[in-house]
Amino acid sequence: MLIEYIAGALVAAFIAAYLLYALIRPERF
C-alpha cells in the first residue's frame, strides 16, 4: 500500500534526523 510506504518513510526519516541531531549536538542528551 502506498500509504503504508509513505508512513514508513516518514518514520525512518524522523528517526534518522533525530539520530543525526543527537550526533551533531551530544551536549543536549
Task: Write out pLDDT tens, residues 1-29.
Answer: 899 999 999 999 999 999 999 899 877 65
pLDDT on residue 1 = 85
pLDDT on residue 15 = 98
pLDDT on residue 2 = 95
pLDDT on residue 18 = 93
Cβ-proximal residues to 21 (8 Å cutoff; 6+ apart), any chain: none
pLDDT on residue 5 = 96
Extract the runs of DSSP E, i.e. beta strands, from 1-29.
none
pTM above 0.85, yes or no: no
